[in-house]
Amino acid sequence: MSENETEISTLGEFGLIDKMTRDFKVKNTSTELGVGDDCAVLNYGDKKTLVTTDLLLEGIHFDLTYTPLKHLGYKAAVVNFSDVYAMNGIPKQITVSLGISKRFTVEHINELYSGIYLACKEYGVDLVGGDTSASVTGLIISVTCIGEGEEGKIVYRNGARDTDLICVSGDLGAAYMGLQLLERERVASDGQKDFQPDFAGKEYILERQLKPEARRDVIEEIRNLEIHPTAMMDVSDGLSSELLHICHDSKCGCRVYEDRIPIDYQTAIMAEELNMNLITAAMNGGEDYELLFTVPLTEHEKVEQMTTAKLIGRITKPELGHYMVSRDDNEIELKAQGWNAFTSSK
């Protein structure tokens, strides 16, 4: 590499996207929002069209040593559904494109598609197209999801305001701990015949890593309780990273409280076994696909009624910064330490 060239890893994923797309200006009146959020927003009448794409590369985003192809297909579809739900939309169609190396057979690809089919059936989504090609670098999966949103009800990242409440669904860190468990057993199996991995009592964190779910139930409860989120994202890169995205786009600060971060018992046990900091795993692990959202302070009573999400903090003025308040009332600055596809592998 010459002195005039820049390594992609120095920019990171979002930096690269921003650099590559900043000169692309919207030309069509039907394009309300292009690159920059979980979905594009297109206007074709009384419904808005939401579009999102995810690219998964073998050796970067997944390891087939311990990832069943059916689970991989399911996950590849669901993470796209999650992006649509994160904008208060409903996923309707997907396209799937594959790059396939010579070592894969028809049966292998059929197993992958069986997972995609299961996800589409579970969430009521149609597979409407795609493409396949040969690959010299292993398996490549690109999924595009098209969803719909109602006028005035789509939730962006930039709507959070001072005094808003910060909420998150489910629990955090489980998928990351599931990944650490799989990696531990993979290393232990090297060079051993008839190795039997030890997953006893760890089924929940394994499923959170291998077969995540999109939180359609959270969106349904938000609508049933007539809650009006001001900003929302799905937690794919870790809670710290997603909070900072919302604060950056909304031009605000935040405070989240350590004792309110939801963590499952299996996650805590796994962190203890691996001698890892539990709150770091919960804040920065990623791939939880929970929904992080803000709501007006006036809807506090409605939020307290939710069974799928809990209150973890509040939005502040931008000059107050972005911090987590520890159990002993110390303020720890939030940093985007989530997984970087250009420097890591999963």
Contacts of 241 (CB under 8 A, 6+ apart): 284, 286, 336, 337, 338
Mean pLDDT of 45-65: 91
Per-residue pLDDT at 45: 75
Residue 19 has φ and ψ, to the nearest 5°, of -65, -40
Separation of alpha carbons 109 and 69, rounded Å = 8
CB distance 295 to 227 below 8 Å: yes
Place of tokens 């920059």: 36
Architecture (CATH level 2) of domain 165-188+197-333: Alpha-Beta Complex (3.90)
Q: Could you count the other beta carbons within 10 Å of the beta carbon of residue 110?
A: 13
Could you read off the pLDDT of 141-199 as tens digits, one per residue? Answer: 999 999 989 989 999 999 999 999 999 999 999 999 999 999 988 887 776 776 677 78
Instruction: Note if the pTM is more than 0.75.
Output: yes
Could you read off the pLDDT of 95-127 as tens digits, one per residue? Answer: 889 898 888 888 898 899 999 999 999 999 988
The residues that bridge with 168 in the sheet, in sequence order, are: 292, 310
Could you read off the pLDDT of 189-240 as tens digits, one per residue? Answer: 776 776 677 788 899 999 999 999 999 999 999 999 999 999 999 999 999 9
Residue 140 has φ and ψ, to the nearest 5°, of -125, 130
Mean pLDDT of the chain: 88
The CATH code belonging to domain 8-150 is 3.30.1330.10
Within 13 A of 336's CA, how many CA atoms are on the CB side? 16
Q: What angle do CA 288, 294, 296 make, to 5 degrees?
A: 160
Place of tokens 């890169």: 237
CB distance 6 to 55 below 8 Å: no
CB distance 261 to 279 below 8 Å: yes
Q: For CATH 3.30.1330.10, list the domain ranges present in the chain.
A: 8-150
Beta strand segments in the chain, E? 31-33, 40-43, 47-57, 90-100, 126-134, 140-150, 165-169, 231-234, 253-257, 291-295, 309-316, 322-325, 331-333
Q: For CATH 3.90.650.10, list the domain ranges present in the chain.
A: 165-188+197-333
Place of tokens 């999966």: 141
Q: One-letter amino acid identity for 220?
A: E
